[in-house]
Chain A
Amino acid sequence: MAHAVISCLHANLAALEAVLSDIDQRGIKTITCLGDLVGYGPHPNEVVNLVRERGIPSCQGCWDEDIIEGLNACECSYPSQLAERRGHRAHQWTAEQLNDDNKAFLASLPMVLRRDRLVFVHGSPNSQHEYLLPDMDAFAALERVQTADADILFCGHTHRPYVRELRDGVIRVRVQTPMGSQPAAERETAWPVRRIVNAGSVGEPRHGNTHATYVIHDEATGNVEIREVPYDVERTCRAIVEVGLPPVFAWRLRHGFEYAERADDASHVCER
Chain B
Amino acid sequence: MARWALVSGLQGDLALYEAIQRDLRQLGRVDTLFVLGDLIGPDRDANALLDRLQDPRRGELAPQCIYGWWEDQLLAERGYRGERRAELLRQQFGQAAVEALELAVDPGHLAWLAALQFGFIELDCALLHGSSADVGDCLGAESSPLLLLDRLTRMDVNRLFTARSGEQFCVELAGGGIASTVRDLAGERQLQQVVPQRKVIGIGSGLRYSLYDPGSDRIAFRSVGQQPGSRGRGFA
Binding site for B on A (CB under 8 A): 126, 134-135, 137-143, 146, 160-178, 180-181, 184, 186, 188-189, 191, 207-209, 213, 226, 228, 267, 269
CB distance from B162 to the nearest CB of A (A): 14
Q: Can you name the residue of chain A whose Cβ is closest to the Cβ of B170?
A: A176
Q: Judging by beta carbons under 8 Å apart, are A135 and B145 in contact?
A: no
CB distance from A239 to the nearest CB of B (A): 26
CB distance from B105 to the nearest CB of A (A): 24
CB distance from A272 to the nearest CB of B (A): 8
A181 and B146 in contact, given A167-B179, A169-B178, A226-B184 (Cβ under 8 angstroms): no
Q: Judging by beta carbons under 8 Å apart, are A137 and B153 in contact?
A: yes
Q: Judging by beta carbons under 8 Å apart, are B185 and A143 in contact?
A: no
When distances are taken between beta carbons in the complex, the residues of chain A under 8 Å from B181 are 164-165, 167
Q: Judging by beta carbons under 8 Å apart, are A168 and B177 in contact?
A: yes
At the interface, is chain B mostly helix, strand, loop or mixed?
strand
Q: Judging by beta carbons under 8 Å apart, are A143 and B147 in contact?
A: yes
A170–B182 Cα gap in the complex (Å)?
19
CB distance from A209 to the nearest CB of B (A): 7
A167–B177 Cα gap in the complex (Å)?
10
CB distance from A12 to the nearest CB of B (A): 19
When distances are taken between beta carbons in the complex, the residues of chain B under 8 Å from A186 are 174
Instruction: Scan residues 182-225 of chain B and give those whose CB is less than 8 A from a CB of chain A.
Output: 182-186, 191, 193, 195, 208, 221, 223
Q: Judging by beta carbons under 8 Å apart, are B145 and A189 in contact?
A: yes
Decide yes or no whether B11 CB sits under 8 A from chain A.
Answer: no
A178 and B233 in contact, given A162-B184, A164-B180, A168-B179 (Cβ under 8 angstroms): yes
Of B172, B174, B180, B233, the most chain A CB neighbours within 10 A belong to: B180
Decide yes or no whether B141 CB sits under 8 A from chain A.
Answer: yes
Decide yes or no whether B67 CB sits under 8 A from chain A.
Answer: no
Q: Which of A141, A173, A208 contacts B180 (CB 8 A)?
A: A141
Interface size of B as a range: 35 or more
When distances are taken between beta carbons in the complex, the residues of chain B under 8 Å from A162 are 182-184
Q: Which of A140, A142, A175, A191 contacts B170 (CB 8 A)?
A: A175
Q: Judging by beta carbons under 8 Å apart, are B184 and A161 in contact?
A: yes
Q: Which of A167, A170, A226 contacts B185 (CB 8 A)?
A: A226
Q: Can you name the residue of chain B whose Cβ is closest to the Cβ of A191?
A: B146
When distances are taken between beta carbons in the complex, the residues of chain A under 8 Å from B153 are 137, 139-140
A188–B195 Cα gap in the complex (Å)?
12
When distances are taken between beta carbons in the complex, the residues of chain B under 8 Å from A208 are 185-186
Q: Judging by beta carbons under 8 Å apart, are A173 and B145 in contact?
A: yes
Decide yes or no whether B169 CB sits under 8 A from chain A.
Answer: yes
CB distance from A182 to the nearest CB of B (A): 9
Q: Judging by beta carbons under 8 Å apart, are A184 and B184 in contact?
A: no
Q: Judging by beta carbons under 8 Å apart, are A178 and B221 in contact?
A: yes
Q: Judging by beta carbons under 8 Å apart, are A138 and B172 in contact?
A: no
Q: Judging by beta carbons under 8 Å apart, are A172 and B195 in contact?
A: yes
A-B contact pairs, 24 of them (CB 8 A): A137-B153, A137-B193, A138-B178, A138-B179, A139-B150, A139-B195, A140-B153, A146-B146, A163-B184, A166-B179, A167-B180, A172-B174, A173-B173, A174-B172, A174-B174, A175-B169, A175-B170, A177-B167, A180-B232, A180-B233, A181-B231, A186-B174, A209-B185, A267-B154
Q: Judging by beta carbons under 8 Å apart, are A177 and B169 in contact?
A: yes
Q: Judging by beta carbons under 8 Å apart, are B171 and A135 in contact?
A: no
Of A142, A168, A177, the most chain B CB neighbours within 10 A belong to: A177
CB distance from A255 to the nearest CB of B (A): 15
Q: Judging by beta carbons under 8 Å apart, are A173 and B154 in contact?
A: no
Q: Judging by beta carbons under 8 Å apart, are A163 and B182 in contact?
A: yes
